[in-house]
Structures are given as C-alpha cells and as structure tokens.
Amino acid sequence: MHSALREQFVCTVLGNVPLCREHYRLVLGLREFPATDPGQFIQIAGRDLDIDYNPEREIDWEPGRAPDVRGKELMTPLAMLRRPFSLAGRRDTPDGVELDIIHRVVGVATEWMSRLNVGDAVHILGPLGNRFHLPAPEGLAILVGGGVGIPPMLYLAERLAGQEGVAFCGALTRDLLPLTILAGGRSPGIDSFEPVANIGEFAKHGIASVITTDDGSYGFRGFVTQALERYLDGLGLRVQDSGKRGEGDLKSQISDFKASQTTSAASSPSVLSPQSSVLRPSSVLPTLYTCGPEPMMKRVADIASARGLPCQIAVERAMACGMGTCQSCCIRVRKPVDSVPLKGRDWAYRLACTDGPVFMGSDLLW
C-alpha cells in the first residue's frame, strides 16, 4: 500500500545556469534518490527549511540600526509551501544522482531558486505522481511541449532513446525557448513543420523536432498545435468522420497504460540520421505526449481525439501538498466505469498529484 520510495531529501546545487530569458536549469545532486520516470515531479521548498524554520536563529541586529524594511527582515517574501516541478532529466553517477529541473521565474519561489549558488542546500520531497507510459516498441512517440511544459518532454526523450520520436516545442518567442538550438540549425521557414535535428536535447536521442514561436521569431510561425496538425495530416493521420479508425488500438493502448506498472528499460541511444524525420508507416498508432499551458493541452487532446490517436497529458494544477492530502489539485475526468455512482453527475474529480499528473486525454474533462 505504501512503498517507502518517496521521502524528503536535502540536495546540493551542482549547477544553476540561465538557459534563456527567465528560464534556468537547476541541477540538484544527492547521494541517492528512488527510481523515477518521465512525468513524475518533485516538490521543492522555496526556502532553506533548516534556517528559515528555526525560530532560535535570530537576525543579527545592532542597537541603533533601523530594521531593513525592504530587505530580508521584513519585506522579502519567501514561499511557505513547496512548489511542484517536473523532472527534466536524471543521471545516475558513481557519486550519486543528479536531477535536472528547468524552471521559469514567475514568482517568489522560482525567483529564490534562480538565485541559488553551487553548493547551496535545497530541500525536496518526492518523487511524486504517476508517469508517462512509453509507447509500444514500434510505435512513434510525438512529444508536444509548450513553454514550461517542455521540461518533462526532455526526460521523456531520454527514456525514449532508440525509439522513434518526434518533438514539437513552442513558445511565445525565441528567447523563451529553454533549449539548445543547434548552431547549424538555421531557422527553418516560418511555415515549415518538417521535423529536423535542430534541438540539441532531442537530437542527441535521435529525435527530430519542430520549433514554433507565436511571433515567428524562430521556426514555424504560429501555435505548436497548428504545426502539429499539419504534420499529422502529412502523415495521413487525418481527422475522422466518426472517430472509428484505430479505436481498437486506442482502447488497448489506454488499458496498457492503466495496467502497466513496469518501465521498459531505455535501449541504446541511436545516432540521429537524416532519415529519422521520415517516418515509416507502422501498424501501431503514434502516441501523443504533451505538457504545457492548459489551452494548448486541451487543443492537443482535441487534435488527438479527432484522429483517434492516444494522447497522454501531464497536467499542472496549483498544488499545496503533492501527496494527496489537501484536495487542492483536482481535475475533472469522465466518470470512471468502476466508480461509485454520484447522484446526477457523469464526471468525477481526480487529484493531479496522485492520480496524475499524467492522464489519458480521452478521460479528461478539465
């Protein structure tokens, strides 16, 4: 019922580098950390719990000096609750474990995180949540990340190594893309939705990608979902009249997803070949994986369902605990078949922190 696989840990900052405007990659080192999978997240304390929760430690004050009302003493707000962050990558080394977090500075906790220095202590709790279910070995994975939804896609790409995948990454504008855009990768045309090897983090796992910006400052001009639709049309995966096609596959993939408790081990990484953007037709339907702003994810879910494609969505909700106790992170799902009937309702709330964050697009009512 409760595996002692989750705990509180104190990590050491191994690196904290700006990636682009407002985005940082924070590398956290710790001696050991339970097994994790893409889609899972950790709760990070936006303050040093050892120092800030110790009322015996008093702020130095010399008589005659007025308290600093703009500084740490009175005005600097610190986050009280922890904040959830997706794992963006993980490396197990002889010295321990390194966890990658990519975050965008939007408020008190992320601002505090952006100021961390190498060697600082960071209190984390996890790993939390369920995970993405990897596609069948011969199935194509289509990763769709928008803004701060890109980090979990990077971890997923790490695990997909060797499997066929293609990534779509979108942002408002080029300098909000927390990605390594390969030097040789001149911007493709503003209407190009052909996946190419232009994002370092994906290319090293043999995954070609399409970059979109709302303002056209790099790559496809428009929403990532527009590029995705055109790409799927190009693969012959068109909108269906009745949604009949592929329904059997969809059902079996969904039940695979729900039943599966094991992870397929990452196979050997393959070198990106120029052909990797050319997709071989396969009997297995591609699976869509997405994380990003909610309107984007809803659109991806619609695009997938119109074409009868399975779609796994990592949702983000405001979370206080991340452990299934506060009931703050609820999201509406179609009423599960096995659930107790609730008077007059054909939906139920599920918790994004423990039932999710990954849900099947076809289950979500948002």
Ligand X SMILES: Cc1cc2nc3c(=O)[nH]c(=O)nc-3n(C[C@H](O)[C@H](O)[C@H](O)COP(=O)(O)OP(=O)(O)OC[C@H]3O[C@@H](n4cnc5c(N)ncnc54)[C@H](O)[C@@H]3O)c2cc1C
Q: How far apart are CA 221 and CA 214, in angstroms?
A: 6
Among 309, 313, 351, 364, binds ligand FES (CB under 6 A): 351
- The least distance separating ligand FES from the CB of residue 40, rounded to whole angstroms, comes to 14
- Return the closest-CA partner of residue 42 out of 92, 78, 88: 88
Name the residue with tokens 């202590």. Answer: 121
Indicate the DSSP class of residue 356.
-
CA angle, corner 295, sides to 291 and 296, nearest 5? 45
Q: How far apart are CA 121 and CA 53, in angstroms?
A: 14
Selection from other proteins, ligand FES, ligand X, none that 200 binds (CB < 5 to 8 A by kind) is: none
Size of the site for ligand FES (CB under 6 A): 12
Among 172, 324, 342, 366, binds ligand FES (CB under 6 A): 324
Selection from ligand X, other proteins, ligand FES, none that 103 binds (CB < 5 to 8 A by kind) is: ligand X
Rule CB under 6 A: say whether 27 interacts with ligand X.
no
Rule CB under 6 A: say whether 18 interacts with ligand X.
no
Among 317, 332, 334, 335, binds ligand X (CB under 6 A): 317
Among 81, 161, 190, 279, binds other proteins (CB under 8 A): 81
Rule CB under 6 A: say whether 319 interacts with ligand X.
yes
Indicate the DSSP class of residue 255.
H
- Return the closest-CA partner of residue 299 out of 243, 225, 234: 225
Number of other CB atoms surrounding residue 248 within 10 Å = 11
- Only one of the segments 83-91, 134-142, 157-165, 235-243 lies at the binding site for ligand X (rule: CB under 6 A); that segment is 83-91
Q: How far apart are CA 81 and CA 308, in angstroms?
A: 40
What are residue 358's DSSP bridge partners?
Answer: 314
> Cis peptide leading into 127, omega within 30 of 0?
yes
Q: How far apart are CA 14 and CA 118, in angstroms?
A: 5
Q: How far apart are CA 155 and CA 152, in angstroms?
A: 5
- The least distance separating ligand FES from the CB of residue 128, rounded to whole angstroms, comes to 9
Rule CB under 8 A: say whether 18 interacts with other proteins.
no
- Only one of the segments 134-142, 178-186, 231-239, 314-322 lies at the binding site for other proteins (rule: CB under 8 A); that segment is 314-322
- Only one of the segments 50-58, 97-105, 288-296, 327-335 lies at the binding site for ligand FES (rule: CB under 6 A); that segment is 327-335
Closest CB to other proteins among 118 and 326? 326
Instruction: Please state the φ and ψ torsions of residue 236, each to the nearest 5 degrees.
Output: 85, 10
Rule CB under 6 A: say whether 320 interacts with ligand FES.
yes
Window 276-295: residues binding ligand X (CB under 6 A): none
Selection from ligand X, other proteins, ligand FES, none that 300 binds (CB < 5 to 8 A by kind) is: none
Rule CB under 6 A: say whether 108 interacts with ligand X.
yes
Rule CB under 8 A: say whether 2 interacts with other proteins.
yes
Tokens at 184, concatenated:
């040789």
Reduced to 3 DSSP states, what percent helix, strand and coil does the chain have, rounded to the nearest 5? 20, 25, 50
The helix-helix angle for 224-234 and 294-306 (nearest 10°) equals 20
What are residue 42's DSSP bridge partners?
Answer: 85
Contact characters 39-68, other proteins, x per CB under 8 A = ------x---x---xxxx------------
Among 237, 250, 329, 364, binds other proteins (CB under 8 A): 329
Selection from ligand X, other proteins, ligand FES, none that 49 binds (CB < 5 to 8 A by kind) is: other proteins
Close Cβ partners of 185 (under 8 Å, ≥ 6 residues apart): 196, 197, 198, 199
Indicate the DSSP class of residue 22.
T
Rule CB under 6 A: say whether 79 interacts with ligand X.
yes
Residues that bind ligand FES (CB under 6 A): 319-322, 324-329, 351, 353
By CB under 8 A, name the binding residues for other proteins. 1-8, 45, 49, 53-56, 77, 79-82, 125, 317-318, 320-321, 323-331, 340, 342-343, 345, 348-349
